[in-house]
């Protein structure tokens, strides 16, 4: 395939898609998936700083797949799309989404603007006032393994964060069935550096992150209220207690969540997890005794899970891994798009993970 050749569209339905914020790691990962999707026509990709520049100039890996150029965000142009993704910092989507939704455009926000239902809580963690609380109330939290039916009918989808995805999926079978003490959960999570975004900050330079490993946000992290909210719903609305500590690891991609809980009932943990996720196309419960690695899911939309009960005691240890840019961001967003428009749920994401 030569430069700028187009993927042949083979589906019965082709939707026009826009992307606001196409220059970050999440944005380019979303583009990588979308240009391979047979039901998608990539219509608009925005960047204020790169207006008029071919997307492939910034991301040469996309050169054989698209000749689209960046453009300044314009609501009128975006209103010509069937769906608009926002891969933007918090505060951007909530300013533009109301006009798009009023025009009948579906919106999937990969940022944090619509994830937390309590707007006062959101403002506390994100340091600004929310401008459209009515849409927060309407937004569907885009974790397909929990909200698939609601996603199908949504106008606005709040794509989950990366840490919340790995953590919630790992805990769900235990919490939903009331099998563990809900007030003493511990999530010990590690992320690759791409989770910090495509930005020139000293803390994320190679010389700062290589050959090093450190915790951050131990006193409180923005993803904590999002995880608590999801687990509280899984716990039939009852409060949960969670200690969540994220870590930065010297790798580009991946999240490894090691999750701890105290059992309150006897249960076959392996059977529990296999049954809960038996019909989930992107959750892979590994055989008993397995230890998933982030490399197993690199570049894929899969969540690999293994569950352990050390020495047969009352502590459950769940190991949950994802690619933070795919199942933790862009891939899950496309999964939500596929559900929303009635496409095959794995459309555009049938490739296995990359090894090594």
Q: How far apart are CA 319 and CA 171, in angstroms?
A: 10
All residues at 6 or more sequence positions from 287 whose CB lies less than 8 Å from its CB, including other chains: none
CB-hemisphere CA count at 13 Å for 80?
Answer: 9
Q: How far apart are CA 97 and CA 131, in angstroms?
A: 11
Q: How far apart are CA 101 and CA 83, in angstroms?
A: 10
Q: How far apart are CA 163 and CA 180, in angstroms?
A: 21
Do the Cβ atoms of 322 and 340 come closer than 8 Å? Answer: no
Nearest CA to 139 out of 168, 171, 112 is that of 112
| DSSP tag of 113 | T
Out of 79, 81, 132, 162, the active site residue is 162
Q: Does the annotation mark 79 as catalytic?
A: no
Do the Cβ atoms of 156 and 101 come closer than 8 Å? Answer: yes
Positions marked active-site: 162
């Amino acid at each position: 395939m030569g430069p700028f050749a187009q993927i042949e569209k083979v589906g019965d339905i082709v939707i026009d898609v826009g992307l606001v914020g196409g220059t970050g790691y999440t944005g380019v990962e979303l583009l990588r998936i979308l240009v391979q999707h047979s039901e998608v026509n990539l219509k608009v990709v925005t960047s204020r700083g790169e207006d008029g520049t071919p997307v492939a100039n910034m991301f040469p890996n996309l050169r054989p797949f698209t000749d689209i150029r960046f453009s300044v965000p314009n609501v009128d142009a975006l209103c010509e799309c069937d769906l608009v993704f926002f891969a933007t910092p918090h505060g951007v989507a909530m300013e533009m989404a109301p006009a798009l939704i009023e025009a009948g455009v579906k919106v999937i926000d990969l940022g944090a603007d619509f994830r937390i239902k309590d707007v006062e809580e959101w403002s506390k963690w994100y340091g600004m006032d929310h401008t459209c609380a009515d849409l927060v109330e309407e937004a569907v939290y885009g974790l397909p393994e929990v909200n698939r039916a609601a996603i199908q009918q949504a106008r606005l989808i709040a794509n989950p964060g990366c840490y919340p995805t790995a953590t919630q999926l790992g805990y769900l079978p235990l919490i939903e069935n009331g099998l563990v003490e809900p007030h003493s959960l511990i999530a010990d999570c590690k992320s690759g550096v791409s989770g910090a975004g495509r930005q020139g900050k000293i803390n994320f330079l190679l010389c700062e992150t290589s050959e090093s490993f450190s915790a951050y946000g131990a006193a409180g992290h923005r993803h904590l209220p999002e995880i608590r909210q999801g687990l509280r719903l899984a716990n039939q609305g009852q409060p949960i207690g969670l200690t969540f500590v994220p870590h930065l690891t010297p790798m580009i991609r991946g999240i490894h969540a090691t999750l701890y809980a105290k059992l309150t009932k006897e249960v076959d943990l392996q059977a529990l997890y296999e049954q809960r996720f038996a019909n989930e196309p992107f959750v892979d419960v590994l055989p008993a005794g397995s230890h998933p690695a982030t490399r197993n899911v690199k570049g894929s939309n899969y969540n690999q899970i293994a569950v352990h009960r050390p020495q047969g005691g009352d502590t459950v240890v769940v190991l949950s891994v994802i690619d933070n840019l795919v199942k933790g961001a862009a891939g899950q967003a496309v999964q939500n798009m596929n559900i929303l428009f009635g496409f095959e749920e794995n459309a555009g994401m049938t490739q296995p993970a990359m090894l090594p």
